[in-house]
Amino acid sequence: MGLFQYEQICKLNESEFMVYNYVSLHLQEVEAMSIRELSVAVGVSTTTVLRFCSKFGYEGYTEFKYRIHQFLEKQEEGRYYPSIRSAVQYLQSTVDNQELSIEIEKAARLCVEARQVLFLGIGTSGGLAEYGARLFCNAGVTAFSITDPFYPSPVRSMEDMVLFVLSVSGETPLIVSSVDNYKKKRMKVISLTNTDICTIARLSDINFAYFMPLTYVHQTIEHMNITTQIPVIYLLETLSQWINDIREKQKR
């Protein structure tokens, strides 16, 4: 079992999620940190750190650090793949999840009723935006992908269209600006983000957050985000299947 379970991550408040993000990216450093040092690094109180530990079932910070130590040892042995384990936990959590099913059906109906669905994303999310547009077209919805955030939006109202936004952070300035512009055209916005505590999630009519551990690989100039996108693919394919089912029922 990993350090963090999907069901527990969903219950974190904003300050606790800040601790989660920092710990996920700095496991080796946190193993050697005191609770005071961690609270200063994240910019939260020690009480917040203790509450964070408690929400994941640890009796205190000492036990939490011990679990980090065990976790890192198993990683070195090559038996731990945190991103994949988290993705599997996410998929398992969707089984019989009525609340998620209701939101998926609501989003699918919005897309079926829309004149067009525009997918928006850049980088890896741009590739998935193209995949999503193709899936939706296969299901009978007119869909296109926009992977250039500078692509101009039409002047007229777009209230009969849906904008589908893909963004891991939900905070990329160019994407946030694009979403804001499209919302001013009265478009409905559906988003897939790694957390619901982000600007794009707040701008959306419907948001699906998947809460995966942030993962980066260091390259010569910058750190590249390689956070798993398995939940995104799952959600896109599930939505396309819902869309197809809804359209088939409408034909009867």
On whether residue 18 sits in a domain, the answer given is yes
Taking each continuous run of H as one helix and of E as one strand, the counts in the chain are 12, 7
The neighbour count for residue 113, using CB atoms within 10 Å, is 12
Boundaries of domain holding 185: 93-251
**Residue 142, in any domain of the structure:** yes
Question: Quick one: pLDDT at residue 161?
Answer: 94
Asked whether residue 100 falls in the same domain as residue 23, the answer is no
Based on the domain organization, do 149 and 216 belong to the same domain?
Answer: yes
Query: Both 100 and 76 in a single domain?
Result: no
Both 149 and 41 in a single domain? no
pLDDT computed for residue 155 by the predictor: 65
Residue 85 lies in a domain: no
Domain ends where: 48, 80, 112?
80
For 132, other C-beta atoms within 10 Å of its C-beta total 26
Per-residue pLDDT of the chain (252 residues; tens, 9 = 90+): 467 777 788 788 889 988 988 888 788 889 889 999 999 999 999 999 999 999 988 889 999 998 888 877 776 554 445 567 778 888 888 888 899 999 999 999 999 999 999 999 998 999 999 999 999 999 999 999 999 878 877 767 788 999 999 999 898 999 999 999 899 888 999 999 998 889 999 999 999 999 887 776 654 445 566 788 999 999 999 999 999 999 988 887
**Do 54 and 97 reside in the same domain of the chain?**
no
Write down the pLDDT at residue 34. 93
**Number of folded domains that form the chain:** 2
Q: Is residue 86 in some structural domain?
A: no
Q: Is 142 helix (H, G, I), strand (E, B) or coil?
A: coil
Determine the Cα–Cα distance for residues 3 and 70; give it in Å rounded to an integer.
Answer: 10
Task: Tell whether 62 and 141 lie within a shared domain.
Answer: no
Assign residue 245 the CATH number of its domain. Answer: 3.40.50.10490
Q: How far is Cα 55 from Cα 11, in angstroms, rounded to an integer?
A: 8
Whether residues 135 and 174 share a domain: the answer is yes
CATH of residue 60? 1.10.10.10
Same domain as 33, residue 56: yes
> Quick one: pLDDT at residue 151?
81
Helix (H, G, I), strand (E, B) or coil at 223: strand
- Residue for token pair 């850049």: 122
